[in-house]
Amino acid sequence: MSSIISVSNLSKQFKDTSAVNGLSFTVNEGDVYGFLGQNGAGKSTTIRMLLSLVAPTRGEINIFGKKLSTHRSEILRRVGAVIEKPDLYKYLSAYDNLSIFARLSGMKVTRQLLMKQLQMVGLGERADSKVRTFSQGMKQRLGIAVALVHDPALIILDEPTNGLDPQGIADMRNLIVRLRSELGKTVLISSHLLSEIEVIANRMIIIHKGQKMVEGNVAELLDPAHSLIQVETNDNETAKEKLKQTQWAAYLQEGSQLRLMMNKDAVPRLINDLVALNVQLLSINSSHSLENYFLSLTTLPGNVDPFAN
């Protein structure tokens, strides 16, 4: 399966703030790829770099097998995106909004095609209603129709469920699943809601403070046989370097802490090897739950849950 997005060592520095730091990940053709992290983790900055709205400080972005830095126009013609709340003409109808954006993109479309797009996002019966009468969820779905109007191969959605009620979230979830299953689109969706990503994504990444913490297939990451083992030693950096020279290198996770994703049954062998490497072990803990892992990475000091409403 070919990669649609390939990001290598991507970084973005804003004065004294490092928004993204050495981030690498791959989105494959046909993925619904979950891009997870708390608010301020670097998700939106990364997406803006993918859309060439912000220039990277370092690193490389390849989309459709071509460098974004040298093939920007060609690449973006094949990308549709909804960033935060979609910009719509609220005193015009849904149909008129879609028609305007189609013309702006250079597309020659028929009413039949535009109506098909509106029906796809569940707005066929509201085609002639003014956008100012729409709920936030309906506006989000119209924004996706706008993003689809030029038939892009890649759809990028930045927090599409923000501000939606439970029905709006369910509608958005169903729409994203249909984008992949019925239209064959590749979708990258950023969110801070793990529960939503679990349902709709086949692959995912968790980032924290601009760095990748874990990436992989959702089913594998949620498999109880794959436990997150957190190790505390008297010198984690040295211990990590020593482990990189052993069979455990394949299980090491990125980040400043010493973590391995592995089967819990292998922990006794890991402890024996650490002792053999003259590493002073202070503690070792495991977690089966990706949600616990996610919260352990992103919960603020003082046990404050930044994802609580």
Query: Can you tell me the distance from the alpha carbon of 196 to that of 170, in angstroms, rounded to the nearest whole number?
Result: 9
Query: For residue 282, how many other CB atoms are within 10 A of its CB?
Result: 10
Domains and CATH numbers, the chain: 3-212 (3.40.50.300), 225-287 (3.30.70)
- Report residue 308's pLDDT band, with 50, 70 and 90 as the boundaries: very low
**Tell me, what DSSP letter sits at residue 2?**
-
The Cα 279–Cα 2 span in angstroms is: 41
Structure tokens at 162: 């923000």
Which residue in the block uniquely carries the two structure tokens 């439970």? 166
**What integer is the mean pLDDT of 93-122?**
89
Which pair of structure tokens corresponds to residue 297? 């990475």
User: Chain centroid to CA 22: how far?
Assistant: 16
Q: Is the pLDDT of residue 309 over 60?
A: no
Question: What single string gives the DSSP state of each residue in 153-201?
Answer: SEEEEESTTTT--HHHHHHHHHHHHHHHHTT--EEEEEES-HHHHHHH-
What is the model's pLDDT at position 301? 44
Cβ neighbours for 204, distance < 8 A, ≥ 6 positions apart? 33, 34, 35, 36, 197, 215, 216, 218, 221
Evaluate if residue 6 carries a pLDDT over 50.
yes
pLDDT tens-digit readout, 211-252: 998 898 887 777 756 677 889 999 999 999 999 999 999 889
